[in-house]
Amino acid sequence: MSMTLTPPVIGNAFATAPNTPRRMPLSREQYSLLGNAGMLPERCELIDGEIIEKLSQSPDHTQSMRRVERVMRRLFGEEFVYSQTPLVLGAHDEPEPDVFVTTLPEATFLQRQPTASDSCLSIEVSVSTLDFDTGRKASRYALAGVADYWVVDVESRRLLVFRDPAGGAYPAPLEFDETQIVSSLAAPLAAISVVDLLP
C-alpha cells in the first residue's frame, strides 16, 4: 500500500475559469416577504436582485437631498414628489430613490407602488456611492426605461443627467457644474440652478 505523499505547498492558485456559481437574483416578491418578516436591514433597496444595504447617510447627503426635495416640490407640487420611498423598476428592482417625481396623483398609489412608468424623474444624491449610482444602478433605471435619471455628485459639486435610455443603457451623462442651470424633461421650461441641489 502506498503512503501519502509529502504535499508540495503551492497555495490556492489553482483556479483558471470565471466564477461559475451565481448569486440567486431575489425577486420583489421574495424581497417583500423578507420585509414583512422583519428580515431586511433597516434601510435597503433591491437592485438587480440583490439587497443593497444603505449603511449611513452623511450630513451633506441629507442636506443635498432636502434641497433637491424642496426644489422639486416647488416645481411639481407637494403631491407628486417622493423621497426615499420604493419605486418599482422591474421584477428584481425596487430602489428607494432619494427623490422621485410621479405623474399621477397620490390617490393612485394607495393600492399599489409607483413604477418606472409612473415616474418622470428620479434623483440620487451621491456622496460616497458615485460608482454604484452611475454604474450598476443607472443601468437598472435604463433597463426600466426611466427617461430622466439624475445623480447629484456632491463631492465634485456637479449634476449628472442620464437620458435617452436605449438597449438597457444610457449614453454618457450630460454634466452640469454648480454655475449652470438645468431643466427636467417633464418641466422643460422650469430652470433649476444646479447649486440649489447641492449642500
Partner 1 sequence: MSITLTPAISRKHFTRPEYHFLADNGFLRDARYELLGGDILVQMPQKEPHGSLVMAIVFLFARLFGEEFIRCQMPVVLSNDGEPEPDVVVTSSSRSVYQTGGIPTSADVRLVLEVFVSTLPYDVGEKAEKYAQSGVAEYWVVDVESRRLLVFRAPSPTGYAVTAVFTDADAVSPLAAPLVAIPVGDLLP
Give the binding site for partner 1 (CB under 8 A). Answer: 1-5, 7-24, 26, 30, 33-34, 37, 39-41, 44, 50-56, 127-132, 135-136
Give dist(CA 162, CA 187) in Å, integer.
Answer: 16
Nearer to partner 1, 130 or 186 (CB): 130
Q: How far is the CB of 50 from partner 1 (least distance, A)?
A: 5
Give dist(CA 5, CA 178) in Å, integer.
Answer: 68
CB 69 within 8 A of CB 95: no
Of 123, 181, 179, residue with least CA distance to 153: 123
Q: How far is the CB of 58 from partner 1 (least distance, A)?
A: 8
Nearer to partner 1, 19 or 111 (CB): 19
Nearer to partner 1, 55 or 190 (CB): 55
Nearer to partner 1, 20 or 179 (CB): 20
- Helix (H) or strand (E) run with residue 43 in it: none
Residue 123's φ and ψ, nearest 5 degrees, are -130, 130
Give dist(CA 68, CA 15) in Å, integer.
Answer: 48
Nearer to partner 1, 39 or 166 (CB): 39
CB 135 within 8 A of CB 180: no
